[in-house]
Amino acid sequence: MANSHALEQVLRRTSIPRGQITLLKELYERDRDEWVSSSEIIDRIRWGNEERFPGVLGAFGNRINATAEITGEPGSSAFLERERIDGETHYRLRSEAREAIESVQVLVDTFDQHSMSELLEPGTEIPVGQLVDET
């Protein structure tokens, strides 16, 4: 799997759309070992719209695979672990993904300063300049 530096580059290379921001916020704010069901994630980040969730995961996977520092095509599995629990898919952040998020202070600040409902507002994204210029 990719190391935290490569995953950090995924977060820094271009602006992050709100669907991906909310996915990351939802999982980042959970306990490290906590599995979250797909239905709970969908309720929190997609207003219960099951049809839009695969698009968020797919776009995030494309973002990961299009990052030069990522080898192969791991898709969203570079960031997320999946497990079937009681017939439903559950997710949690990989430890390397958590480290990568913590290395991008503007992203952590965004999580801290904005509620999920604020981040769900249309047009919300983190501009690439803020991510690229940060040291």
Angle separating helix axes 38-45 and 18-28, nearest 10 degrees: 130
Provide the residue range defining the domain that includes 10. Answer: 4-133
The one-letter code for the residue type at 41 is: I
What are the tens digits of pLDDT across the range 7-24? 999 999 888 888 899 999
Cα end-to-end distance, the chain, whole Å: 25
Report pTM.
0.89
Contact at 8 Å (CB) between 71 and 1? no
Position 56 scores a pLDDT of: 93
Separation between Cα atoms, residue 134 and residue 126, nearest integer Å: 12
| Neighbour tally for 72: CB within 10 Å | 9
| Neighbour tally for 132: CB within 10 Å | 11
Q: Which string of b and e fits 31-62 if b means at least 16 CB within 10 Å?
A: eeeebbebeebbebbbeeeeeebeebbeebbe
Domain count, the chain: 1
The one-letter code for the residue type at 83 is: E
Position 95 scores a pLDDT of: 96
pLDDT in tens, the chain (135 residues): 689 999 999 999 888 888 899 999 999 999 999 999 999 999 998 766 788 899 999 999 999 999 999 999 999 999 999 999 999 999 999 999 999 999 999 899 889 988 898 888 876 666 655 554 333
Separation between Cα atoms, residue 135 and residue 79, nearest integer Å: 22
Q: What CATH number does the domain containing 33 carry?
A: 1.10.10
